[in-house]
Amino acid sequence: MDILIKNCNLISISDKREKYEPDMDIYISNGKIAKIGKNIEETNNVKVIDAKGKICMPGLINTHTHISMSIFRETLDGYTLQDWLNDKIWPMEDKLTPEDIYYASLLSCIEMITTGTTMANDQYCMAEETIKAANELGMRLELTRTVNDVQEMQRQRIEELEKLIKEYNHKYENITLNIGIHGLYTTGEDTVKELIEMAKKYDMNVHMHFCENAQETLDIKKAYNVVSPVDVLKKHFTETHNILAHVVKVTSKEIDELSKLKVNVSHCPISNLRLGCGIAKVKEMLDKGINVSLGTDGQGSGSNLDMFETMKFTGLLQKGVNENPKNLESYEILKMATINGAKALRLEDRIGSIEEGKQADLIILDLNTETCIPNGNIFSSIVYNAKGHNVCHTIINGKLVMENRKIEGIDKEKVYKKCIQIIDRIQ
């Protein structure tokens, strides 16, 4: 069914339009934005949404997460990244079943839809179950089967990744795939070279953790016998489109070198803080022309998938650590959460902004609440005052997947119960 959004206050994130346009209508047909204007007439068989006084903006794009790690929420306190993975997460992951992945993915999809995320870039295992969950709820995903050399199972993981690509590449409009390298500190050079060739063969993005903390940086230097982890990128990743998650422990000189490569950074401030990794030099990266988008990481280290929290932390940290309140205007942070994410995934021609001809991935916000009124600056109000619960409607690929904060066709209580049972069984 076609959808007509009436009288919204539009933040399109399009360079072709004004940043803020009050009292606009948006007509959605066949999954796409067919028309944007004032006083668009209603037609038969059209779903009308009265958005008077509300904000319509592009859906948020989470460029680094682990969707089926919802069950690992709050397993972190007191652990470093390496200890958390080695002592807690990897032993529990060995006990996971496909059904576990399915229900954990359902929980994350519910969380993303209700907090305004319309697309996520996922890195995990048993991806078929995550695809199943995403399709049931209408989420848009890019995902992979993560590969590393841990437990010397890299051959099996590479075969699983290629099987996933052959079965699901171009199968669903809302699902894209990429090559997932866990990280250089867990993946040897021979495996990396093979995965790079696979990325070129299928023309796919490469998604990888990179320089998340100091120990990882030291491990990469030792494993690859290099002066800088960036040297590995310069040697192997020059012909691929790369999405690097975290990028915390890099120097100004390394940022300059990164700016000359085909890299996109997914900034995950909350996860970086909780793991004690430090604060990424986001402002410096942006100033050097690097495309920086935003990610939550998985709930195990990032606590939740609310991208509004991620936007707020992004702004506050860059102002505070640089002691400059002028750093990162709120509108630029909104771009990081939308169009920059689309660019990172090479989908900017389809999503990331509200423009005629693009896929209809958008959200409607109600900021008429006690925490947002008065809206002295609408962009700042969204970044610093809005939360996921301010999202009242979520539309993905032209389908109304949440209306007035209700998702039809899913027994949320059953999903919650299943996920509690999973973590009780495996920990």
pLDDT digits (tens, 9 = 90+) for 73-110: 988 777 888 888 888 888 898 899 999 999 999 999 99
How much is the pLDDT for 153? 85
How much is the pLDDT for 17? 97
In this prediction, the residues of the chain whose per-residue pLDDT falls under 50 are none
Domain with CATH 3.20.20.140 in the chain: 60-344
How much is the pLDDT for 406? 97
What is the three-state SS of the chain? Answer: CEEEEEEEEECCCCCCCCCCEEEEEEEEECCEEEEEECCCCCCCCEEEEECCCCEEEECEEEEEECHHHHHHCCCCCCCCHHHHHHHHHHHHHCCCCHHHHHHHHHHHHHHHHHCCEEEEEECECCHHHHHHHHHHHCCEEEECECECCHHHCHHHHHHHHHHHHHHHCCCCCCEEECEEEEECCCCCHHHHHHHHHHHHHHCCCEEEEECCCHHHHHHHHHHHCCCCHHHHHHHHCCCCCEEEEECCCCCHHHHHHHCCCCEEEEECHHHHHHCCCCCCCHHHHHHCCCEEEECCCCHHHHCCCCHHHHHHHHHHHHHHHCCCCCCCCHHHHHHHHCHHHHHHCCCCCCCCCCCCCCECCEEEECCCCCCCCCCCCHHHHHHHCCCHHHEEEEEECCEEEEECCECCCCCHHHHHHHHHHHHHHHC
Domain with CATH 2.30.40.10 in the chain: 2-58+355-403
How much is the pLDDT for 43? 85
How much is the pLDDT for 151? 82
Q: Which CATH architecture has domain 2-58+355-403?
A: Roll (2.30)
How much is the pLDDT for 361? 98
Degrees, nearest 5: CA angle 102-347-9: 95
What class is the 60-344 domain?
alpha beta
